[in-house]
């Protein structure tokens, strides 16, 4: 898990806010999914049953 301002870590370079909203990028191995901006989308991306 990495958090912070865009560009504050090499892992965050190019991963900006989406339409003004904070975004989460779920990555597995060396591949990241498209960003999500809601808790429900994040839960789905993480495979949390709901």
pLDDT (average), residues 6-26: 83
Mean confidence (pLDDT) of the chain: 86
| Percent of the chain at pLDDT exceeding 90 | 42
Could you tell me which residues come within 8 angstroms of residue 35 by beta carbon, excluding any fewer than 6 positions away? Answer: 15, 18, 23, 24, 25
The answer, yes or no, to whether residue 13 has pLDDT greater than 90, is: no
pLDDT tens string 27-44:
888 888 999 999 999 999
The answer, yes or no, to whether residue 14 has pLDDT greater than 90, is: no
Rounded to a whole number, what is the largest CA-CA distance in the chain? 33
Domain ranges of the chain: 10-46
Rounded to whole angstroms, the Cα distance separating 27 from 42 reads 12
Query: Can you give the chain as a three-state secondary structure string?
Result: CCCCCCCCCHHHCCCCCECCECCECCEECCEECCCECCHHHHHHHHCCCC
């Amino acid at each position: 898990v990495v958090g912070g301002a865009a560009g504050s870590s090499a892992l965050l370079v190019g991963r900006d806010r989406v339409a003004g909203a904070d975004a989460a990028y779920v990555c597995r191995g060396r591949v990241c999914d498209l960003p999500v901006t809601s808790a429900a989308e994040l839960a789905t991306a993480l495979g949390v049953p709901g």
